Amino acid sequence: MKKLILLLFIPLVFQGCFSYKTVNYSQISNDKKQKIIVETIYKENIKGKLISIDEKQITLKKSGELKTINKEDIRFLSVMKFSVSKTAEVVVGGYVNSKKN
């Protein structure tokens, strides 16, 4: 029973281990298919997987649909990254909490 609970707990631990880092348009590379959040000048947030990027526009895939955003319409760009500190907090916190019981 303990192994089953641990097995179900692992995906929850790693789900919260990602955060978004604000980057410049020029810092995004086209070779990585990374997850990105784009905030436009119209206050719209678009979250999706990077398909392509060039000097004029960025294309994201969101729910199977391609969304193209012009560079001039972008206010902020955030790239998803793995956070080691968040992972450590959850793992250590879970371990300490299990020892108390």
- State the CATH number of the domain containing residue 46: 2.30.30.600
5: in domain: no
> Which residue in this structure is represented by tokens 């992972």?
87
> How do residues 6-22 score in pLDDT, each as one tens digit?
666 666 655 556 778 88
Q: Between residues 6 and 74, which one has the greater pLDDT?
A: 74
- State residue 55's pLDDT score: 92
Output the six-digit token pair for 88: 């450590």
Tokens representing 100 are: 């108390």
Range of the domain at 65: 19-81
Residue position matching structure tokens 């206050």: 43
Residue 10 domain-assigned?
Answer: no
* Residue-level pLDDT at 13: 59
Query: Domain tally for the chain?
Result: 1
Residue 64 lies in a domain: yes
Q: How confident is the model at residue 97 (pLDDT cuts 50, 70, 90)?
A: low
- Tokens representing 85? 């500190």
* Segment 59-82 mean pLDDT: 92
Q: What is the pTM of this model?
A: 0.64
- Can you say how many angstroms the Cα of residue 85 is from the centroid of all Cα atoms in its chain? 15
| Most distant CA pair in the chain, distance | 57
Q: Which of 23-27, 33-37, 53-57, 91-95 has the weakest average pLDDT?
A: 91-95
pLDDT in tens, 33-70: 889 999 999 999 999 999 999 999 999 999 999 999 99
| Distance, CA of 52 to CA of 67 (rounded, Å) | 11
